[in-house]
A and B are shown apart, each in its own frame.
Chain A
Amino acid sequence: MKISDITVMICDDSPLVIKKTGNVLRKIGINSIITASDGEEAVTQYKSSKPDLVFMDIVMPKKTGLDALREIREFDPDSKVVMASTIGTQSNLIAAIKEGAFEFLQKPIKEEDILKVINRMLKE
């Protein structure tokens, strides 16, 4: 798979985060980007679009990122969901790993973090 073939979903209730993360993705050649602004929409979008990679915020309205992660993993055990949160605490990290997160990043997400995740995904 080439980097330009990847479809990424950004799920965050902040348009600022969606815009900034999207800018970084486009900069590295990823143009197929879908977005969701809460956990509920993330699950629906995932089921209909099956993106290759998901960047998911934890604190969100309607359904938290961890709940959405759980549902996505039930639907697709091979899903690759990167959890991102400003609360980089041990308990959040453990909860994300327990639910099968592909990676855990502390927000704001940096370009180099995204590149690392994409490279890991392409290798796997």
Chain B
Amino acid sequence: MYTQLFGHYLLNNGIIGADELHAALTALTRIKVKLGAAAIDAGYMNAEQVEEVHEIQHTIDKRFGAIAVEKGYLTDEQARSLLSRQKNSNLVLGQALIDFGFITNKQFEDALNDYKRKASLINGDTEEERMENEMIGLLGINDMPDKDFYADYILLFIRNLIRFLGDDFSFSGVSRNVTVSMNYACTQEITGPLSATVAIGGTEHGFVGIAARYSGEELNETDGYTKACVGELLNLQNGLFAVNTSNTKNEELDLLPQESFEKYMINIPENGICVSLSFSFGDIKIAVVKH
């Protein structure tokens, strides 16, 4: 997550181009050590425990470290030590950009200091608030009446994409007040006090790529099974969002069955959002319109 936010900052400020960011992020997937692997490497956890924590992450929106501590696999101190390694992912991204010759050490130092300064201006009291504030800033939705809803929803979606698809993506745009088209899409209605229409889709490569990574299978075409896999990811995201909303706001949400479309179009009003992401396998979009 930090890598994506910092990468977006570098892109937005013209320090690097989209192709350069994409190349660096793709390289990161080869070299980045995941928290579970780091825990095994440090001798804190065995592979079975790591797998169990990954399984639990399918049902609750909690971080790896938090679950591992609750299960008694890590102490608070061990979790902090592993997390501090992960937080240095900005440094890893910077190193990749320097190694490729896209930026100099000085440019990286200046950019990182400026990013930290700006991030500290929007710090929240807790890690969660800080992330939510960074997401509001990243999405450029400070003026929206439902900015907290959108920030919570997109933040959770990004976490789920990282968990279930991987983190080799960059933000390629945020749109409002436009009609968005997707070659293939899955949609779902969230009903209840925070009702909304949500859609995930994109190009054929993007759509098939989501399905292939989520199911862990080799998929090459957009058939019913591919659509079901993307729909299941959307359903999982919305299920976790409903659980979070129930736990934190005491409001109960329901979901209607997912639907899939080809040549899908959705009107994004001023109080709606479409986030475009560029994965190494293709481009995808997430559209959310609160009713």
A residues near B (Cβ < 8 Å) are: 13-17, 59-61, 85-91, 106-108, 110
Residues of A within 8 A of B66 (CB): none
Determine which of A16, A87, A110 lies in contact with B254 in the assembled complex, contact meaning CB atoms within 8 Å. Answer: A87
Q: Is the CB of A108 within 8 A of B58?
A: yes
Write the B218-253 contact mask toward A (1 if CB under 8 angstroms, else 0): 000000110011011001101110110010000011
Q: Is the CB of A14 within 8 A of B231?
A: yes
Q: Is the CB of A88 within 8 A of B225?
A: no
Residues of B within 8 A of A13 (CB): 228, 257-258
Q: How far is the CA of A124 from the CA of B69 in the complex (A)?
A: 35
Q: Is the CB of A86 within 8 A of B224?
A: no
B59 is an interface residue with CB less than 8 A from chain A:
yes
Q: Contact size class for B? A: 20 to 34
Q: How far is the CA of A85 from the CA of B246 in the complex (A)?
A: 15
5 contacts between A and B (CB under 8 A): A14-B231, A16-B215, A85-B239, A108-B58, A108-B59
Q: Is the CB of A87 within 8 A of B243?
A: yes
Q: Is the CB of A88 within 8 A of B257?
A: no
Task: With both chains docked as a complex, state the minimum distance between the C-beta of A69 and any C-beta of chain B, in angstroms.
Answer: 16
Determine which of A16, A17, A89 lies in contact with B252 in the assembled complex, contact meaning CB atoms within 8 Å. Answer: A89
Residues of B within 8 A of A16 (CB): 214-215, 225, 228-229, 232
Residues of B within 8 A of A86 (CB): 235-236, 238-240, 242, 255
Whose C-beta in chain B lies nearest to the C-beta of A88? B243
